[in-house]
Amino acid sequence: MKLNKFWFIIAAVFLIGIAFTMVADNEFYFYATYAVMQLMIMGIAWNILGGFTGYVNFGSGGFFAAGAYTTVFLHRAFDAPPLLIAVLVAPMVCGLIGLGVGYFTLRLKGVYFAIATLAVAIILETIVVNWEFVGGAGGYYLLIPENVVFFDSYIEWLFVLILAITLIAIIVSRYLNSSKIGQGLAAIRDDELAAESMGVPTLKLKLISTTVMGGLMGAAGAPFPYFITFVEPVSAFNLLVAVMAIAVPMIGGTASWIGPVIGGLLLGTIQETVTVNISSELNLLIVGVVLVGFISLAPQGITGLYQDFMRKRRKGND
C-alpha cells in the first residue's frame, strides 16, 4: 500500500513535469526549478554518506565538479556527444572517485574523514585548473545545441533530465534508507565497532555509501555545463556547493530519505526567491542563518519537528 503510493507519486511528479514543459513557456520557471532540483540531488547524495552513514563530507563540490567536467571532457573529446551520454558516464566516473576516496580514507574517523574529503576536492580542482584540455583556469564555453527533439527549448530538456535524475536519486536514497543496507548504515553511524561486532560488514557498506554518494553528486553535476554554458573551476568547485549540500539535509532532517527532499524544496525555493528579488549576497546570508538557526534550534530538522509534533499529539489524545 505504502509502496504503491510512493511509486504513484514518483510517476505523477514525472508526468506533471512533462506536462509542465508543454504548457509553460516562461523559461525562468525552468531555470528556477532546475536549480532547486540540482540542490535537492546534492542534498540527497550528501545525506547518504553524511546522514545515513555518519560520515561528513566537505568535498561535495569536488564530486559535483567532477561530474560537470566529465561532461566538458566528453564534449571536447568526442565533438559534443548527446548530453544523455555524459549523464550516464559522469555518475560512473564520480562513483569510482567516491569508491577510491572511500577506500583511501576508510580508516579515518569523523573529522579526519571530513578534512580528507576537502583535500580530495582541492586536489581535483588543482588538476582541473592545470588541465588545458578542459579549459584550465580560464574555463570552458559550451554551445547549446540548437535543435532539441520533442521539447520547445533546450532548458526544457534539461529540466526533464534533472527531474528524472532527482526522482532516481530519491528512489535510490529511499531504497538505501529502508532496506537491510540502510539498517547497517545506521548501525555504522551509531557505533562502527559495535556494528562490525554484530556482523555488519562496515567496510563494504561504507564503500557502497561513498560510491553512491559520488555517483549521485556526479549526476547532479553532469548537466551543469549545459545549464550555465560556461564552466570554470572556481565556481564549479565552489565551497558553497559543499555548504548547500550539507544545509539541505540538515534543514530537512538527516535520518530519513525524505529529509533532504523537504530541505531541498524549502532551501531551494527560498534561495531562488531571494536571489531574484533581492540579491545573491543576501541569499548566502540567509542560507547561513537558516542553517545555523536550524541546527541550533531544531537539530533533527523539519522531519524531526514533525515527529515531535506527532508524538505530542498522540500523547495528548491518550
Residues at the interface with other proteins (CB under 8 A): 50, 54, 56, 58, 104-105, 107-108, 110-112, 114-116, 118-120, 122-123, 125-127, 129-130, 137, 180, 183-184, 186-187, 189-191, 193-203, 239-240, 242-243, 246-247, 250, 254-255, 281-282, 284-285, 287-289, 291-292, 295-296, 299
Contact 248/264 with Cβ under 8 angstroms?
A: yes
Smallest distance from the beta carbon of 222 to other proteins, in angstroms?
24
What CA–CA distance (Å, rounded) separates 277 from 275? 6
Strand, helix or coil for residue 300: coil
Q: How large is the greatest C-alpha to C-alpha distance in the chain, in angstroms?
A: 68
* Residue 10 or 243 with smaller CB distance to other proteins: 243
One-letter amino acid of 270: I
**What ranges in 233-300 are assigned the alpha helix state H?**
233-236, 239-252, 258-277, 280-297
* Residue 16 or 111 with smaller CB distance to other proteins: 111
* Residue 236 or 291 with smaller CB distance to other proteins: 291
- Which residues 6+ apart lie within 8 Å of 306 measured at CB? none
Smallest distance from the beta carbon of 271 to other proteins, in angstroms?
13
What CA–CA distance (Å, rounded) separates 269 from 35? 9
Cell numbers given for 88: 550516464
* Residue 50 or 98 with smaller CB distance to other proteins: 50
Smallest distance from the beta carbon of 289 to other proteins, in angstroms?
6
For residue 140, the surrounding DSSP H or E stretch is strand 140-141
Contact 270/290 with Cβ under 8 angstroms?
A: yes
What CA–CA distance (Å, rounded) separates 235 from 271? 17
Smallest distance from the beta carbon of 202 to other proteins, in angstroms?
7
* Residue 113 or 224 with smaller CB distance to other proteins: 113
Smallest distance from the beta carbon of 291 to other proteins, in angstroms?
4
Cell numbers given for 19: 506536462
Smallest distance from the beta carbon of 282 to other proteins, in angstroms?
8
* Residue 125 or 272 with smaller CB distance to other proteins: 125
